[in-house]
Every structure is written in C-alpha cells, then in structure tokens.
Amino acid sequence: MAQRENVHNSVLECIGNTPIVRLNDVASGLESQLFAKLEFMNPGGSVKDRIANFIVEQAESRGEIEPGGTIVEATSGNTGLGLAMAAVLKGYQSVFVMPDKQSMEKVQALRAFGAKVVVTPTAVEPEDPRSYYSVSRRLVEETPNSFYANQYHNPDNPETHYQQTGPEIWRQMAENLDVFIAGMGTGGTLTGVGRYLKEVNPNIQVVGVDPIGSIYYDLFKTGRMSEAYSYSVEGIGEDFLPSTMDLEVLDDVVRVTDRECYLTTRDLVRNEGIFCGGSSGAAVCGALKWLRLNDRPGQQALVLLPDTGRQYLGKIFNDDWMVENGYLESIPGLGTVRELLSRDGHKPVLSAHVGQTVSEVAGLMREHGVSQVPLMSEDGVVGILTEGKVLSRLLDHPGAASDAVDDLAESSYCTVDFNTTVAVLSAMFGRAKMALVLDKGSVVNVITRIDLIDHISKVNQ
C-alpha cells in the first residue's frame, strides 16, 4: 500500500523543516551565494512556532504547567501566535501583553485563536510598572495555574534552535555553510543556531543584524550599554540584554536603518517573490552589507527570514505609510511640486483675509470658480475656508452674510515647498483638503486634490 506523505496528526507536527531558497536578484553582483531559510512557512507564520511549541513541551515535562492552565507571555506577536496555537491544541488558556507599536493585525491574529491581548505603552522603561515586561510579570503573579513562557530569559528558547533549527540547517545545506546571518531579537535564534553551527564547524561565521536605535551593536563592539532610542522595525533590537542572547557566539554585528529594512523587504517581495516581513528585510539587508565587505567566490551564506509579509500590509507594503514616514521618497515619474505647478501654469494665489465677511468670501469663490481658499492674516496662514463651511453658515444663520469669516477657518491643509515630491504630497492629501505652497515663508500657490488628479493623469498618459 502506498505510504501517505506529509500528512500529520496535528498542526504542531508541521512546525520546522522549512524550505531554503537561493536569493538570486537581491544578491546579484556577489561572489558568495546567499540562501534564505523561509521560517514564515511554519504554520503560525513565523520562526517563533518552534520556540513556542518546545517551551510548552518542556514546561509540561517539568510539571510547570497543569491541564487547563494559562500561558502568559510578553510578545511582539509571533511568539504569541505560536503559543496560542499550542494552547489551542494542548487545552490551555493564553494571555499576551504587547507594546502599542505592534501592528493591529498581530493583535487581531492572537484574538482569532481565542487569546486575550493586553496592549501596553512602548515609550516607557522596562522597569516601569506599565512596561510590557512588568505587566506580564504581574499577570503571572495574579493568575492561578499560570505559566510564564518568558522568551527573553527562558533557556529553552535558544535550546529549541540548538536542538532543532541548527541541525536542520546543517543537514539541508549538506554540511556546506560558511556564514549564518539572522536578526537580533531575544537572541534565541542566533544563540541556538550559532552555538550548534560553531560546534560542527568552528569556522562558520555567525553574524547578527541590529536595527539602529537598539543596544546590541554598541554592546557587541564596545561592551558599552548605550541608551536605546526608537526604531520602527518589529521583532528585532532591544533596549536591554536578554539572557537568551549570548553575544560570545557572534563573530560580527551589522547595523541597519528602518528605511533599509523596509526597502529590502519590498525588494524581496518584488524581485524574489518572497512575501516576508520587516525583520526579514533587515536580516537580508544586513547579510548583503556584511557579504559586500567579506565577499569571496563560492562562499555559502544563509540568512533566516522570521515572518510573513501579511502582517505588514498596512505599513511596509502601503506606499502612503512609507512616504508619510519618510521611508519612500518618491513614486518614480510623478516629480515634484515644482513640476506639477509648471505643468498647470502659475495660477494667481487667491486668498481671503481675516475680517472679510462671509458674503465677500462667497462672492470671491463664485467669481473665480473655486471651492476653497486660504485665510490669511498679517502673520501668515490662519487656515482654509471651504465652500461647504461658508454655505452651511449662510443656511444655518441667514443673517450671517455680514459676519467675519474668521471662525470658519479649518486646519485641514498641509504646507509644501517646490521641492516636495508629488508622492509625499499625495500621501498628505490623505488628510488635507488643500496644500499651500510656501516659498520663503509666503504662500505662493495652492494645490487641491483635483490639481493632483489632473497631474497624475497627465503624467500617466
């Protein structure tokens, strides 16, 4: 009788044995070969399925969690998903504490498994009672029969990778590997995989990738604990040293900016067809930086891609978010405000002044066929006046025609200059009704949404 293939008793058995693929386009120009281990192909969508399942198994074997108990964790999402999945299958409750910078999709995914999620502020010290570390500790103390997975200090986190991921990689690569590169979060991946690989071949280089703003790079290079500052890439970088991170295992650390991480993530999707998240972009970006400095023919390098791109649709894969946050400068071809204005010709700036009456401004709008004008005072822009506001004032208060327009001014405008890209301008139009073009502090032109539509349609003709 034929044997069934790849058929499992539960989804937990599908964890691990993730594929490795060669990166062709993004690694072009290198003498080394760069391979990526697709950890987002785990059933929960990330590398963290591995540690979640192993940590719960170990806790069970030590009697640290009893049937019907509650698993608690401070997590940026992926470990939570793995634990929530294990909890469903093993009959536990789960409660997760997450910092507020994490994407909403991650919170929703945890809730989909029936887990409880507590969101805590990012901008507080780890010792602060509101921090996600403190809140999770308190939850454990207050919840009977609870188990704290504690990925930042649980030795079973690196142990998972030492026992499973490391040997898996070594086997898959047919024992031919020179460099292993991964992002630095709890350090579980680098410590466990790195330790294993060093044991089988001490010449393998183990390289960590750290986002600028995290403490790891300085700590590794100088031994100094620098002050952490904010960065937006999720899942990697820390503001303290978790005991799951053994810096001794590392040969080098490479730094990456948020922008580099996100642009590389987008390259991985568009040029390699690999739909991964921001920390994967970070790891690949770091790998490329390191390999460019240490390239040699035939060198075999492997980078680990921790999670899927699906959780970042509203951020990394959203052009407006990328532009608004300064990660994407321009949509090629749309040019700058200067080009938009030169295409449309230079319109005289029409504006109203504080103290003018509602009927005067209504007359101005009618005469010039415009539906909004900036309201100016001696000191500059006060706001914008829209046809809608003027009309409703006249309808609501029939005697208002002779009132001053001053209190009708709205703040739904943005300011740009000639060099602002049209991509940034269009992102601003998500909220603003009108853009005021400033030159040396004065309003020299105005752009409305219809001007933008006109420009984009002409460019695309």
Ligand X SMILES: Cc1ncc(COP(=O)(O)O)c(C=O)c1O
The residues annotated as belonging to the active site are: 48
Nearer to ligand X, 70 or 76 (CB): 76
Nearer to ligand X, 185 or 374 (CB): 185
At closest approach, how far in Å is the CB of 360 from ligand X?
A: 58
Q: Tokens for 158, please give them.
A: 């690196």
> Is 375 strand, coil or helix?
strand
CA 181 – CA 286 distance, rounded (Å): 8
* Contacting residues for 182 by C-beta, under 8 A, at least 6 apart: 189, 190, 193, 207, 208, 209, 283, 303, 304, 306
Nearer to ligand X, 184 or 436 (CB): 184
Closest CA to 124 of 139, 116, 137, 135: 135
Nearer to ligand X, 318 or 371 (CB): 318
Residue 118 CB neighbours (<10 A): 15
Contact 209, 253 (CB under 8 A): yes
* Contacting residues for 359 by C-beta, under 8 A, at least 6 apart: 401, 402
CA 229 – CA 435 distance, rounded (Å): 32
Closest CA to 150 of 42, 238, 68, 244: 244
CA 203 – CA 292 distance, rounded (Å): 19
At closest approach, how far in Å is the CB of 444 from ligand X?
A: 46
Binding footprint of ligand X on the chain (CB under 6 A): 48, 76, 78, 183-189, 234-236, 277, 279, 306-307
Residue 62 burial by CB count (10 A; 0-12/13-18/19+): exposed, middle or buried? exposed
At closest approach, how far in Å is the CB of 186 from ligand X?
A: 3
Nearer to ligand X, 69 or 158 (CB): 158
At closest approach, how far in Å is the CB of 49 from ligand X?
A: 11
